[in-house]
Structure 1
Amino acid sequence: MHSSFTRLQNVFGFFTTVAFVLGAFIAATDLGAPRTPSGIIKTDNVQVVKGRPHYYSSKKEEYAIIRFSLEADLSSLFTWNTKQLFVYVTADWTGPDNANNSAVIWDSIITNPSADHLQNLGPVAMKKLKRSAEGKSIAPERGLLKLKNQKPKYQITHPSGKIAETPDVTLRLHYNVQPWVGLLTWNMDKPFGVWKAMSGGVSDYFTLPALKTKDSKAKDAKEKAGAKSKTKSKKP
């Protein structure tokens, strides 16, 4: 004769087994949903300045500010099991010691419409989020991104404190799918079943410019003033 505690333990064990099997089945359904992410990214403006990149920086150092444009279609990553999508852009380059360097310059979280309530947003911000889904940076499909001359969220620095004139830098688009049930998945270099690798999503190589000095800044100011005077003289 089993005690009440033993019966309760058996029921709980059976419940957890059923929940685990059901969760595994739900997670496996993602493998049958095609993923065809694509993106086009390019630089708009690149600057290298010297100063304190963060308010908590203890010393001045060189840091890069990269503005970029991005058009991406990540709508295929949203399925009924997608909770939210973490999208980020990195600047990648190889150092003189053949070390691979990667720095995040921008990121964003795109939630599934059913997960909007989980964001720590006030009513005003929530209204803005819903408006943004009607056409601009976040389309109703919650995966179409269109950014022009986007200002980076983070500046690029280096432990050496010097980053000017770094060659062969590229911008790369990344994503991380966070499901309701299952494992986190990142963008892949090779296709896996119906999951395709990112099409595009990498910019052309570019070189970070030299650090601007006082002389170069004065020269740029003179050139801008001269260009303005020429346009004024051409007017009737």
Structure 2
Amino acid sequence: MYSSLVRVQNTFGFFTTVVCVVAALIAATDFLAPRTPSVGVIKPTNVQVVKGRPHYYSPKKEEYAIIKFSLDADLSSLFTWNTKQLFVYVTAEWPSAPGQNATNQAVIWDSIITSPSADHLANLGPIAKKKLIRSAQGKSIDPSRGKLSIRNQRPKYQITHPSGKMAEIEDVVLRVHYNVQPWVGVLTWNQDTDFFKWKAIKKNVSKRFSLPAIKKREEGGARKIDASH
């Protein structure tokens, strides 16, 4: 009954239990660190609707939107010693046709921000990697991590719709999202309400705007957005 195999199994079971308890305690420390993410500016700077093939593999021409934007955000409080990386993305959202209780949502831009301890996971060149390593020396968390200041950013992804129509859509907004990926624990997304020391993200939605009609080729397809809005 008390063979060597049984003793090995008992030891392994005890070790596994200890590891799980320690991992749970590490994950619980995230709730002790305040999270106060905020967005200073999120606004479109140039909106264009084009008719063509949005992707090289698109089988036919359709309308698609290109939205450039500016963003100022402070997400540095999301970085703790247990943060592996932060995934930030911006979506464009607009209501469906009358009578349909749904909201259309499409990602137009995203970025991964690694913590100093996870810089080796980023696909970086030697010069950029040296700068990141130097910025992390002697610091548990680089205070500049998570602070974004982007001007007239071109989107990574165009917006399309199954109907093939994108022109003259109204009540469009841009929304900033984040996803915290820890070393140990569960993934967490931006929240709508405060929870203990974790505060809901502030001012992460832009003012409403409309997508323009498709302009003739000689007139151009872009429409500037007033930067004061």
- TM-score exceeds 0.5: yes
Distance 1:4 1:72 in 2: 58
Structure number, greater radius of gyration? 1
Distance 2:78 2:130 in 1: 24
What pairs with 1:71-220 in structure 2 (closer than 5 Å)?
A: 71-96=72-97, 97-124=100-127, 126-127=129-130, 140-214=143-217, 216-217=219-220
Equivalent residue number for residue 12 of structure 1? 12
Provide runs of 4+ in structure 1 moved above 4 Å: 127-133
Gaps in structure 2 of 5+ consecutive residues: 137-141, 223-229
CA distances 1:193-218 after superposition (whole Å, capped 9, x unpaired): 11000111110000000011246449
> Identity rate of aligned residues, in percent?
70
Are the structure 2 counterparts of residues 132 and 106 from structure 1 closer, same or farther at C-alpha, using a change threshold of 3 Å?
A: farther
More helix by share: 1
Are the structure 2 counterparts of residues 113 and 217 from structure 1 closer, same or farther at C-alpha, using a change threshold of 3 Å?
A: closer
What's the offset of the Cα at 1:129?
Answer: 5.6
Equivalent residue number for residue 226 of structure 2? none
Distance 1:101 1:132 in 2: 40
Q: Do structure 1's residue 54 and structure 2's residue 43 form an aligned pair?
A: no
TM-score (norm 1): 0.85
How many residues end up aligned between the 2 structures? 214
Equivalent residue number for residue 70 of structure 1? 71
What's the offset of the Cα at 1:2?
Answer: 1.2
CA distances 1:67-126 after superposition (whole Å, capped 9, x unpaired): 000000000000000000000000011010332110000000000011011224443553
Q: Supply the RMSD in Å over aligned alpha carbons.
A: 2.1
Matched to 1:19, the amino acid is V
